[in-house]
Structure 1
């Protein structure tokens, strides 16, 4: 018999406000919000996750509370820009301060700069050229929960990503104002969040100086025309278009240019992939070892966003397949659709191009000629000729899942 203690242990969950409440008080996650991830996530994940709204957010799929990790339901990906109030939330550390924009400062230093700086938010808005770009922000571990065999970590489905319009200043312009020395190798960034327990490694990352000087790498203070939400990095965050979100430092407070490879935990031990296993062009050479390399650019991928697995359609009905496709910034040039499980493929119509770092919407319509089961698949390719895989490229951290999605429907 289930004891009272066991019942309470399994039935109480922490809310965003820190209260312990019975799990039934919170909304369970409808499988349609997860798309086909609902049938691939590890046993127990579906039962444990709930819909919950963080302050300033609509209900998202809660993966963990400390640190807060919340996934965007797939239905919101039918929009070209992911609304701020449903944008996914990803943290490693639990102490996340409410930053006061009036007192916030960004320090710029390190052994490889000539003139250390201290900048306010007003300085960013008035002393540098303002730029705006559209870019996909995607967690490195997006789709980790779909790995087989499963791997440790936050068991994300499809929703640890979002597409937004970012406004801010070029990191290049800030670094030029500080003056780079000839030996500048990496740019190290830190945010305001910290660990609760003593000894927790601070979440500090570095990027190669050549990536920091890319004109598309920016310090953003606006997202979709509004100030950054608290949970997405207010008052300013680093935007590294084309690269996974591990480098997109939230609540950024310091930039240090260094002449030697940064050896912090989150660089030397975490967010690494086996060397040579993925078709990556942007390599972080100064951080490579003989066996692995830091994850960098996003691999080519796609997602069907408007059809649920198991959905039923009427014979004679025109079925519209909509979705999104993206890569690391080389540009999507084709999405192919199969309605017969991969036997034949037809090219989908691509939507408006919002820039090479944005996801690209696609549409395909077909009219089934007979009743029965259909398996719909979408396969994206980019301008380099890279395409999605049909077999998982397994790796121990659960990164770069870009297996072609399959959705089964019925025509009656």
Structure 2
């Protein structure tokens, strides 16, 4: 994947930061996050295989369900809209490498800032209902979901992720056909996208084409080799002492970011500012957000907007006035409903699941 820089416009998309062009990886500008719902035209783009889907005939497209089921299915888009009850939710979709550029020391991979995520309202069909129609056979343990994107070379494994049968049928996992009230953009996975709320976007398979039920644990490249992380508290390890045991990366790590200020604009001493940002985790709940203006020596409580969905991000705000001219080290941290607070340090070899405290430097004049 060639390195790329600068802002670009792709079909159905506004101006976004280009990380790679094959496959396309596009990052959302930070100012877009001043909206609670991320507009489709600015929703980040992340593909794994170079040959992405560029055209779909909705009349002939079929979602195939097979494996350990009593009744294999081939469902049209019309079937999905008319034969199953529709469900919807607001949920955060976040790349596991979001904020990778902030890891120190640096790690390989696309150097995302904070824009490899988006909050959207998803509408579709519960996987639970589709599998009920197919009739899951006794003894089934896993369900795999395969996208229609392909590699350019023979032998490149297709992008397939799996969930346990219990997770897949918990009533929350969706197959979405709408995103913010319209069909899903082609670059975000049209015509169908798996929505796994509270889990990283590596499980949100785009251009979903095939579902298979398994009586044995599914073992594929994207589960056994890729998207794995240290099996340690905080998902952390040391550069000089990498852990031997890794596990599949699943749930979203507790984190919070600044949206405003960005650190690029000068502030005026004695003038009140509204510090603003976002906080999120796996859906288990955030109990508080705190802000520091002295690099973490002292903390003050921020206010949080009401929840707009269990799996949505939450906006936080805090009024702050720089008392004098000079440099300030602003920091933000969140604490979840179980009492866990973001750590000051975290590192892993892949730059996954950033959870450490965000700092930004601002200058008051």
TM-score interval, normalised by the smaller of the two chains:
over 0.9
Give the C-alpha shift of residue 277 in structure 1.
Answer: 3.6
Corresponding residue of 1:26: none
Q: How does 1:11-410 map to 2 (within 5 A)?
A: 48-97=4-53, 98-110=55-67, 112-278=68-234, 291-392=245-346, 394-410=347-363
Q: How many residues align?
A: 358
d(CA) in 2 for partners of 1:369, 1:141:
36
- Partner of 1:222: helix, strand, or coil? strand
| Kept after mapping to 2: 8 A contact 1:310/1:407 | no
User: Offset at 1:378?
Assistant: 0.9
1:348-398 deviations in Å (ceiling 9; x for gaps): 111121111000001100223333222111111211222212002x22222
Superimposed CA distance per residue, residues 279-302 of structure 1 (whole angstroms, 9 cap, x where no aligned partner): 79xxxxxxxxx8221000000011
Q: Deviations over 1:260-317 (max 9, x none)?
A: 121211111101112234379xxxxxxxxx8221000000011110112153222221
Q: Is the 8 A contact 2:327 2:362 kept in 1?
A: yes
> Tell me, what secondary structure is at the counterpart of 2:202?
helix
Distance 1:227 1:278, change over 3 A: same
* 2-structure distance, mates of 1:278, 1:405: 16
| Distance in 1 (alpha carbons) for counterparts of 2:136 and 2:262 | 52
Mean Cα deviation higher: 402-411 or 224-233: 402-411
1:66-94 alpha-carbon deviations (Å, 9 max, x no partner)? 11111111111111011100101001111
Change (3 A) 1:155 1:371: closer
Secondary structure of 1:313's partner? coil
Residue 167 of structure 1: CA displacement? 0.4
Inter-partner Cα distance in structure 2 for 1:62 and 1:120: 34
Pairwise CA distance, 1:132: 0.8
Structure 1 unpaired stretches of 5+: 1-12, 15-44, 281-289
Give 5+ residue unaligned stretches, structure 2. Answer: 237-243
Could you say what secondary structure the match of 1:253 adopts?
Answer: strand
Give the C-alpha shift of residue 411 in structure 1: 2.2
More helix by share: 1
Structure 1 segments, 4+ long, off by >4 Å, are none
**Contact 1:311 1:408 (C-alpha < 8 Å) held by counterparts:** no
**What TM-score do the two structures reach when normalised by structure 2?**
0.94
